[in-house]
Structure formats: structure tokens, C-alpha cells
Structure 1
């Protein structure tokens, strides 16, 4: 059986079903607010694919990759290195 709590789409699939990973129902008010905010985000003008890629790499990478390693990977891929505010937000304990 496939683990339904892993992978990039797991959260979206759970939200669409209205069922949390523990089997409990997600309250309608939470789903409604989430859908409202995601609808607004869907209408937002994007600044560019590379900027979005970098933002996602930093946001998600910081959860899995040590600061110095992520910074070097960004540089090696010709992205801007980590900014001081990103380091403070994602790596300060």
C-alpha cells in the first residue's frame, strides 16, 4: 500500500477529500478559508519562474539541507545565495 502522507500532492489530495492524515474530518471553515486564500494566490501576477523556483528551493530546502550546503547549491546553480533575512527566518533556532 502506498503511503498517502508523502509526496508533493499528499496535502492537496487530503484537502480535496476533506480528510486529515489522521483520518479526522477537516472543518469546512478551514477548507473554505484555505480555498479563498489559494484563489487569491491563483490570481496574483508572477514575477518570473526563476524567482519562484528559488523561493521554493529555499523554503523547502531549508527543512532538509544544512544552511552552508543549501547556500552552495544555490550558488552552483547560478541562483542568488541565501539572504540574511532568509537565514534568520529559516535557520535561527
Structure 2
């Protein structure tokens, strides 16, 4: 994965698709008009905790599973942090 300007721009697009700015417009779906920030933050635990079982079932050793789990956790936290930016007022970030 290359964390370059293109990747950052895409993260910004995903972030906006969770807010009233672009929710439901890009994909033409009929869903809630806004995802509250608290849902974004609460998303971190279940998506991180539930992946461990999948990692363990692939035959990797405990140390390797822990490394993959930590990498997944860091990735999820980074993405949620980036996706939270549109919720901040100008000057708050």
C-alpha cells in the first residue's frame, strides 16, 4: 500500500461519503443522510476485535497473528482518524 496523495484524497472522499456533504450521492443509494462521528469511533473496537479469529484460522503462529492484528488495528485507527476530519470545525484540526 502506498500512502500517497492519491490515497489521502480517497480517504477524504470516503470521509465525506459518511457526512451530509456526500452521503448517498455518489452511489445513488437511499440510506440515512449522515453517520454520526460517535459511530465512526465506536466502529474501531468491533472491526478490530473480530478479525483476530480470522487471522488465527489461517495457520499462522501466535506471534505472526499478533503482528497482523496490530497492523490491522493501526490501519483501522488511522482510517477512522482521517475519516473524522470532516466532522471537525475549521481550525480544530
Which bin holds the TM-score, normalised by the shorter protein? under 0.3
Larger radius of gyration: 1
TM-score between the two structures when normalised by the length of structure 1 = 0.26
- Structure number with the bigger relative contact order (C-alpha 8 A, sep ≥ 6) is 2
TM-score, normalization: structure 2?
0.26
